[in-house]
Amino acid sequence: MFNTFCAAVEVRLRTLLSPAVRDRGEGPVPHIVMVTIMALAAAAIAFAVWEIAQGWIEQVPVDAPDAPAGP
């Protein structure tokens, strides 16, 4: 199974690195820009979720009233 995986990876890398595929006129810059935009969006979403969670935690009362002492 591992050998099959390694062979598949090697075939894929050879395909990607071959001159016919590599010279499509498309450089790595669009991919870098796209990855950067996705990373910034993920960081913004994580920050927003963190701030919302902190707001919810601040609304929780520190001294909760005691529960009734009987059934």
* CA dihedral of 9, 10, 15, 18, whole degrees rounded to 10: 140
* Structural contact between residues 26 and 34, judged by C-beta atoms closer than 8 angstroms: no
Model confidence pLDDT, tens digit, residues 18-47: 766 555 666 666 788 889 999 999 999 999
What is the C-alpha separation between 63 and 69, in angstroms, rounded? 17
Q: Would you kindly state where each structural domain of the chain is located, as residue ranges?
A: 23-60
Check residue 70 and give its pLDDT. 55
* Structural contact between residues 16 and 22, judged by C-beta atoms closer than 8 angstroms: yes
pTM of the model: 0.48
Taken in order 45, 47, 52, 53, is the CA torsion positive or negative?
Answer: positive
Considering only residues 54 and 15, tell me which one the structure prediction assigns the higher pLDDT.
54
Residue 61: pLDDT band (50, 70, 90) is confident
